[in-house]
Chains A and B, each alone.
Chain A
Amino acid sequence: GAVVSQHPSRVICKSGTSVKIECRSLDFQATTMFWYRQFPKQSLMLMATSNEGSKATYEQGVEKDKFLINHASLTLSTLTVTSAHPEDSSFYICSARGAWGDPDTQYFGPGTRLTVL
């Protein structure tokens, strides 16, 4: 149980294009989803927290107009990197927390590696 998927697992795009990353909780309802980014050989940095049906809360220094987050349902959150640039290349990881089961734990997706040329 408590499986989180991400799609795509890997994406390469040209500078200036927008990329959408999906995060799905497969077997539980995720009331809260988190988006992290991880640069090579570094730790995870929280970008934003999203609750179903409400606007995401962004961490300081994260541009909300560049990283659009939509948590439209209890099983799906999307992160759209708008007008991507090479410095946006990173490993993006989502996690989800459910209202039942084990609400004390975040379950992580497998990550999406974004490369912007």
Chain B
Amino acid sequence: AQSVTQLDSQVPVFEEAPVELRCNYSSSVSVYLFWYVQYPNQGLQLLLKYLSGSTLVKGINGFEAEFNKSQTSFHLRKPSVHISDTAEYFCAVTLNAGNMLTFGGGTRLMVKP
């Protein structure tokens, strides 16, 4: 079975600073990887996904992530964050794209002015 670990439960950062949210996964077979964002009392919105091809994936809102198979990681990055990026971010993995997702514990990004 696959699992996802988000090492940081909270990441405080100042506005306009760069940020990296870490995600590591465990699986004995190839997986597909996703990052979702959840604003308070809302559902999840897809930021980006890796299915195949280029390991550097660009998503919405200026976010990008890099798939590193050797390190089994899929870290999310943004070069300059805004107050509006304050939210909960979830990394997720699936063995079959479109099927059940296994989520990490989430990372709360707190952007301070």
Chain A residues near B (Cβ < 8 Å): 4, 6, 32, 34, 42-46, 49, 93, 95, 97, 103-111, 113
Quote the shortest CB–CB distance from A55 to chain B (angstroms).
16
Task: List B46-83 residues whose CB lies under 8 Å from chain A.
Answer: 46, 49, 51
Q: Are B104 and A43 in contact (CB under 8 A)?
A: yes
Q: Does B90 belong to the interface (CB within 8 Å)?
A: yes
Q: Beyond the given A43-B103, A107-B46, A109-B43, please list 11 additional residue pairs across the A-B interface where CB-CB is below 8 A.
A: A34-B100, A43-B106, A44-B103, A46-B102, A103-B97, A104-B49, A105-B34, A105-B49, A108-B36, A110-B42, A113-B41
Task: List B82-113 residues whose CB lies under 8 Å from chain A.
Answer: 90, 97-106
Quote the shortest CB–CB distance from B27 to chain A (angstroms).
16
Q: Are B43 and A106 in contact (CB under 8 A)?
A: no
Residues in chain B near residue A109, CB distance under 8 A? 43
Chain B residues near A (Cβ < 8 Å): 32, 34, 36, 41-46, 49, 51, 90, 97-106
The 11 sampled A-B contact pairs (Cβ below 8 Å) are A4-B43, A6-B43, A32-B98, A44-B103, A46-B100, A46-B101, A95-B43, A103-B98, A105-B97, A106-B101, A113-B41
Residues in chain B near residue A113, CB distance under 8 A? 41
Quote the shortest CB–CB distance from A11 to chain B (angstroms).
14
Query: Given A43-B103, A44-B90, are A108 and B43 neighbors across the interface (CB < 8 Å)?
Result: yes
Output the nearest chain B residue to A57 by Cβ-Cβ distance. B100
